Chains A and B, each alone.
Chain A
Amino acid sequence: MSAVLIRATALVAGWQRPATAPLDFTLESGRILGLTGANGVGKTTLLSALAGRARVFSGALETRPGLRLALQTQDVPPVEGVPLCGRELLALTGAASDGLPPWLVGRLDDRLDRLSGGQRHYLALWAVLRSPANLILLDEPTNNLDAAGVDHLIAALRRLAGSGTGIVVVSHDHEFVEAVCDQVIVLRESADVV
């Protein structure tokens, strides 16, 4: 049976001031919610509020007690010049390596700063996806990925949802959102946003 992981009621989030229009939604375990919309409507801000980084200005945000969150931001992990290999990165978050795409399996013992931007991005994403979590928050996960990477990501997200994990995806990639999400919210600009 599906359990409610997040319930937002007239939720308005922001950093120094409100930055999103009021929003209602519910996310159950095993479901993938897509947040999309034009630049500047507050997709990332909303995701940050779910992660406890941004402020909730009004409305209510309820999360299931004991929820284990995993968050992927758009920031590239700062590993330039650090001797950290892919296998160690996965071990840090407790992520399993099984299911990795073939083009990454053979690179797990390489330093992250010796990988291509796409390879590094996918590995950093995988370390978040496969860490022990009930709710995964992803911000523009298809950035830097080629078509094979996006296809692999879609399959991985569907498998995770199938095992009961709730997922929230912020993306401007409509095809990706259409392909992977069970429910989609298109954010509109708030009249209050200056």
Chain B
Amino acid sequence: MWSDLFFLPFLTGLCLALVLPVLGCFLRLRDEWLAALAYAHVAAAGALLALVGGMPPALGGMAAAALAGAGKPLFSRRLAGGAAFALLLLGGWAIAVLLAANQPLAERLGHSLFDGQLYFSGAVQLALVAPWALFAGAMLLVLSRHLLLARVYPDYFRARQLRIWPVVLGFDLVAALTLALATMTMGVMGGFALVFVPAWIAFRRARSWRNGLLLATMIGLAGYVAAFLLALGLDQPFGPVLALLLIIVGLLIA
């Protein structure tokens, strides 16, 4: 398995397995875990739109997710309580399904986006994912204190005459682009499993925030490696194997 054929996909997924659980913790902190599914569907729709329009799908997927992330605050008053993510999810899904139903080329890509295509990742994907994962991890560390303060003391920023919108916008963009890359690398549900389950377990079990981030990362990493080996050994698609493994781990220890 350590030939180039599987080594590059393994490394690409590994980068995502390191950053997605941490992102999941911050999304859960902000009660925005539905964002994982929303941005993934928007990215899928963007990738298909780009394909139909003769542009690189990866560019379309990332542009659509970034647009959704940056545009969300503009409608925050009208779309409070997670409505923004539900509408993005529905809109992304509807556009993706309609494109796939009417364009044979889009249908093939649509299947691979929703089922996951980790084993087809190559050097190009790794060159995109590795530096982004590093950047996203660093950004989350930088934003961490502000995101926690915004949750615990929502009035802190106003009282100190500090602006919160750059923090929120920065986080939304990091979340949207990371999830777009995850969708195009390991599929909608593979990425969602790594965002949701490790963070869910960590929030239930961890003794502290720092401990929670570490626990989520370790669960994500162990689940990813085990799922990769198991799916390869049993000749099964990666996404469902990862999801099932993480569900079992979650039910056992959460």
Binding site for B on A (CB under 8 A): 51-53, 68-71, 73, 75, 77-79, 81-85, 87-89, 92-93, 109-111, 124, 127-128, 137
Assess the A78–B152 pair: CB atoms within 8 A. Answer: yes
Cross-chain pairs A/B with CB under 8 angstroms, 13 sampled: A52-B158, A53-B158, A70-B159, A71-B155, A71-B159, A73-B155, A77-B152, A83-B208, A84-B208, A85-B208, A88-B209, A93-B156, A110-B207
- Are A83's CB and B211's CB within 8 A? yes
Tell me whether B155 and A92 are in contact (CB under 8 A). Answer: no
Contact check, B155 vs A111: say whether CB atoms are below 8 A apart: no
Nearest Cβ distance between residue B16 and chain A, in whole angstroms? 23
Which of A71, A109, A127 is within 8 Å of B207, CB to CB?
Answer: A109
Which of the candidate stretches B103-111, B143-151, B163-171 sits at the interface with the other chain?
A: B143-151
Are B155 and A53 interface neighbours, CB within 8 A? Answer: yes
- Interface 0/1 of B50-93, CB less than 8 Å to A: 00000000000000000000000000000000000000000000
Contact yes or no, B159 A85, CB < 8 A:
no
Given known A-B contacts A84-B209, A85-B209, A78 and B159 have beta carbons under 8 A apart: no
Contacts of A53 in B (CB 8 A): 155, 158
* B153→A93 contact, CB < 8 A: yes
- Complexed CA–CA distance, A78 and B31 (Å): 11
- Whether B159 lies near A83 (C-beta < 8 A) is no
**Contact assessment for B207 and A85 in the assembled complex, using a CB-CB cutoff below 8 Å:** yes
- Interface residue from B148, B158, B160, B204 paired with A84 (Cβ < 8 Å): B148
Contact call B29/A82, Cβ cutoff below 8 A: yes
B residues near A84, Cβ cutoff 8 Å = 148, 152, 208-209
Q: How far in angstroms is the closest Cβ of chain A from B100?
A: 38
Q: Closest chain B residue to A124 by CB distance? A: B152
Report whether B159 and A69 are in contact in the complex, using a CB–CB cutoff of 8 Å. Answer: yes
- Give the Cβ gap from A72 to chain B, nearest Cβ, in Å: 9
Q: Shortest CB–CB separation between residue B33 and chain A, in angstroms? A: 12
**CA distance in complex: A75, B149 (Å):** 14
**A92 to chain B: which residues have CB within 8 Å?**
145, 148-149, 152-153
Kindly provide the distance from the CB of A19 to the nearest chain B CB, expressed in whole angstroms.
18
Residue numbers in B under 8 Å from A109 (CB-CB): 207-208
Contact A51 B158, beta carbon cutoff 8 Å: yes
Once bound together, how far apart are the Cα atoms of A93 and B148, in whole Å?
Answer: 10
Tell me the smallest distance from the CB of A5 to a CB of chain B, in Å: 14
Known contacts A51-B159, A83-B203, A85-B209; A77 and B29 CB within 8 A of each other: no
When the two chains form the complex, which single residue of B152, B158, B159 contacts A79, counting CB atoms closer than 8 Å? B152
Interface residue from B155, B158, B160, B203 paired with A82 (Cβ < 8 Å):
B203
Is the pair A78, B208 in contact by a Cβ cutoff of 8 Å? Answer: no
Cross-interface CB contact of A83 among B155, B158, B161, B206, cutoff 8 Å: B206
Tell yes or no: B212 within 8 A of A by CB.
yes
Q: Is the CB of A52 within 8 A of B145?
A: no
| A93 CA / B150 CA spacing, docked (Å) | 11
Please, which residue of chain B has its CB at the minimum distance from the CB of A71? B159
Closest partner residue, chain B, to A84 (CB atom): B209
Asked if residues A77 and B209 are in contact (CB atoms below 8 Å), the reply is: no
- How long is the Cα–Cα vector from A87 to B145 in the complex, in angstroms? 13
Contact indicator A51/B208 (Cβ below 8 Å): no
A150 to B154, CA, bound (A): 25
The minimal Cβ–Cβ distance linking A92 to chain B, given in whole angstroms, is: 5
With both beta carbons as reference points, the residue of chain A lying nearest to B152 in the complex is identified as A77
For the complex, is B202 an interface residue (Cβ under 8 Å from A)?
A: yes
What is the CA–CA distance of A87 and B211 in the complex, to the nearest angstrom? 13
Interface pair A83/B202, CB less than 8 Å apart: yes
A82 & B159 in contact (Cβ 8 Å cutoff) = no
